[in-house]
Structure 1
Amino acid sequence: MSETSKLIPDEVTHNYNPESPFLANICDLEHEEAEKVLQSIRNTGRRTIKTNYLNRRLEVEDWLIRERHRLLGHTPRMRPVYFFLGNFADGKDRSRPNSLVMPLNAFPEGTITFTIPDSMASLPIAKHHKYELERQPYHGQVFSLEEIRDVVAKFGMPNESWAADPRKRFDRFVEVQVWDDRPIIEYLGLSASST
């Protein structure tokens, strides 16, 4: 094992709401249906979701899909399932209280990409003038597994330094985009028909 591969956690976490479809992506729904789901989440009071969220999410996913194609080519999923790099089964997200923690090596390299921080923040930080002070070379970038190891070797894993350094206020974690749900289904011992 190389020195750089030791620098990243060996697990990933998917936080989810047990009352929602498992391994679902809101962008797979028709626009009107997706907005209904988002409004139902808003109505719980557990999570603030801006009215322009869906349009922003679709724009970001278009970017992720283009970058996925560049890095990985064709993958089984058109849209990703989102994980965090590391163990985030802390229950802090009241809208997604359940967690699935899996080994990172359960996913073949050609099925995962990464952003720092989450993709919904990474792209705007890279594009918008108002984020110039926070901007780092990794913002607005989608990385393969090998590339994220190099980025972490150079810049370190996001950690609690964001609390003391306003320039790092967005850099709290690494997001993992999973482009094949078969490793998840196999890990859980589920049949494809039960998901």
Structure 2
Amino acid sequence: MDDRGVYRLPAIVTHNYDPARGAFRNLCSLSDEAAGAVLASISASGLRAIKPNYLARRRATEIWLLSERTKKLGAPKLRYPVYFFLGDMADGLDASRPCSHVLPLAHFPAETITFTYPDSMASYLLGFRADLACERLPHHGKIFTLDELDILVRDTGMPADRWRNEPRRRHDRYIEMQLWDDAPLCGLEGSCPPA
């Protein structure tokens, strides 16, 4: 929020990743067997709980994302997007993805990105599952272009800690950015900064 009380989009995005697997990867680009092995490894590490139906839910979400993105902006270069959080989320709170790339939002051409509010899996479920209809807000089950997100944030604000105090916003913890073209990532892969 600026000094006039107007909500503004953060100027940065964050991609969190596991250095053993590398940055800018998408699980759904793997076969079911290979993706299952990655999920089993994450689960066995004890760093993150993985629900048994995670891969099926992730794939359904990505089919929806691709369809909606294509309707709004045409066919993308990437079939499987690279995920970012809007804002500085390089806090190390997800032990399964301790490394981060924090980049300027302006680094990404508007036609290569879309957003969901909250993250895409939560937005998809909230937007379409009948048993969650009572928790659905107008922005759930939708994807947004950069311009559309700017308007939405000016109208409704950023998630921040509102989910803690506003029961209707309990799912709205993050805004997720989906990158549909890997050209802006050239030369960015790196490793964790020294501790």
Whether these two folds match at TM > 0.5 is yes
1:124 aligns with 2:125: yes
Structure 2 match to 1:41: 42
Residue 163 of structure 2 aligns to a residue whose secondary structure is helix
Between the aligned partners of 1:6 and 1:110, the Cα distance in structure 2 is: 23
Between the aligned partners of 2:75 and 2:136, the Cα distance in structure 1 is: 30
Contact 1:133–1:167 (8 Å) recurs in 2: no
Between the aligned partners of 2:150 and 2:54, the Cα distance in structure 1 is: 30
Contact 2:22–2:189 (8 Å) recurs in 1: no
Q: Percent identity?
A: 47
Between the aligned partners of 1:189 and 1:130, the Cα distance in structure 2 is: 41
Structure 1 match to 2:112: 111
The normalised TM-score by structure 1 is: 0.90
Structure 1 match to 2:153: 152
1:76 aligns with 2:67: no
- CA 1:127/1:97 → structure 2, altered by over 3 Å: closer, same or farther? same
Contact 1:85–1:174 (8 Å) recurs in 2: yes
Deviation at residue 128 of structure 1 after TM alignment: 1.9
The one-letter amino acid paired with 2:177 is V
Residue 170 of structure 1 aligns to a residue whose secondary structure is coil
Between the aligned partners of 2:189 and 2:135, the Cα distance in structure 1 is: 42
Residue 150 of structure 2 aligns to a residue whose secondary structure is helix
Structure 2 match to 1:193: none
Between the aligned partners of 2:49 and 2:161, the Cα distance in structure 1 is: 23
Between the aligned partners of 1:106 and 1:116, the Cα distance in structure 2 is: 21
Deviation at residue 41 of structure 1 after TM alignment: 0.4
Runs of 5+ unmatched residues, structure 1: 191-195
The normalised TM-score by structure 2 is: 0.90
Between the aligned partners of 1:79 and 1:32, the Cα distance in structure 2 is: 17
Between the aligned partners of 2:29 and 2:114, the Cα distance in structure 1 is: 19
Between the aligned partners of 1:189 and 1:58, the Cα distance in structure 2 is: 25
Contact 1:13–1:85 (8 Å) recurs in 2: yes
Runs of 5+ unmatched residues, structure 2: 191-195
1:136-151 → structure 2 map (5 Å cutoff): 136-151=137-152
Report which of the two has the higher share of helix: 1
Between the aligned partners of 1:175 and 1:29, the Cα distance in structure 2 is: 21
Structure 2 match to 1:30: 31
1:169 aligns with 2:170: yes
Between the aligned partners of 1:55 and 1:75, the Cα distance in structure 2 is: 22
Between the aligned partners of 1:40 and 1:68, the Cα distance in structure 2 is: 31
Deviation at residue 159 of structure 1 after TM alignment: 1.3
State how many pairs are aligned. 186
Structural RMSD (CA): 1.7
Deviation at residue 166 of structure 1 after TM alignment: 1.8
The one-letter amino acid paired with 1:76 is K
Structure 2 match to 1:181: 182
